[in-house]
Chain A
Amino acid sequence: GQQLNQSPQSMFIQEGEDVSMNCTSSSIFNTWLWYKQDPGEGPVLLIALYKAGELTSNGRLTAQFGITRKDSFLNISASIPSDVGIYFCAGHGSWGKLQFGAGTQVVVTP
């Protein structure tokens, strides 16, 4: 089956720094999604990508759908304390089931 590799596993950064994380897949994806999960909550969609090469921003967040359709990255610029949480990439090859990455734990220190 499809394998999703997400890295890094965790990041400890200072407030104001930029954060970058990425996911790679063993298979081609048609859709890449990036979610954030806070403790005790379900994942919340941050950015959705539907086309190879697509670069999309949502405030301080920027994500790209890799040209090979097998990878995606998420950048967070000028991190703030509320950026703390677990970030998941997810994708699917055809309409239907999502595959999730293992998650990146982001910790922001003042």
Chain B
Amino acid sequence: SAVISQKPSRDICQRGTSLTIQCQVDSQVTMMFWYRQQPGQSLTLIATANQGSEATYESGFVIDKFPISRPNLTFSTLTVSNMSPEDSSIYLCSAAGSAEANGYTFGSGTRLTVV
């Protein structure tokens, strides 16, 4: 299965600023996703990153707040914009190569604290 490198691994940011998280996969993958995991909680899907087109966002998440890029089949970025303390969370990138390619692989996550 694919190996994902995600960075930064953690950051502490001032409210009102923006942070861009990068996700690099070691092979071309069909699907890439961004999740949020709040402390002690499960994973919530933010959006599907579509190669060469606008991301598909889940209910409660909007492009202005979480702009996503996916310029090719191995790389994606998620930006958390105009941050507030409520955005403090773990953000995870996930990738899947094909319909039954041993499930979905996750990056190690970005632990974001907004102060």
Query: Which residues of A pack against B, CB within 8 Å?
Result: 31, 33, 35, 40-45, 48, 50, 88, 90, 95-98, 100-103
Please name the residue on chain B nearest to A44 by beta carbon: B106
Residues of B within 8 A of A31 (CB): 100, 103
Q: List 11 A-B contacts (CB under 8 A).
A: A43-B106, A44-B106, A45-B105, A96-B31, A97-B48, A98-B45, A98-B94, A100-B44, A102-B41, A102-B42, A103-B42
Tally chain B residues at the interface, Cβ within 8 Å. Answer: 25
**Which residues from chain B sit less than 8 Å from chain A, CB to CB?**
1, 4, 6, 31, 33, 41-45, 48, 58, 92, 94, 99-100, 102-109, 111
Q: Is the interface of A mostly helix, strand, loop or mixed?
A: loop
Contact of B103 among A48, A95, A100, A102 (CB under 8 A): A48
Q: When the two chains form their complex, are residues A42 and B31 in contact, meaning their CB atoms are under 8 A apart? A: no
Residue in chain B with minimal CB distance to A99 = B45
Q: Which residues of B contact A103 (CB under 8 A)?
A: 42
Contact: A101 with B31, CB < 8 Å? no
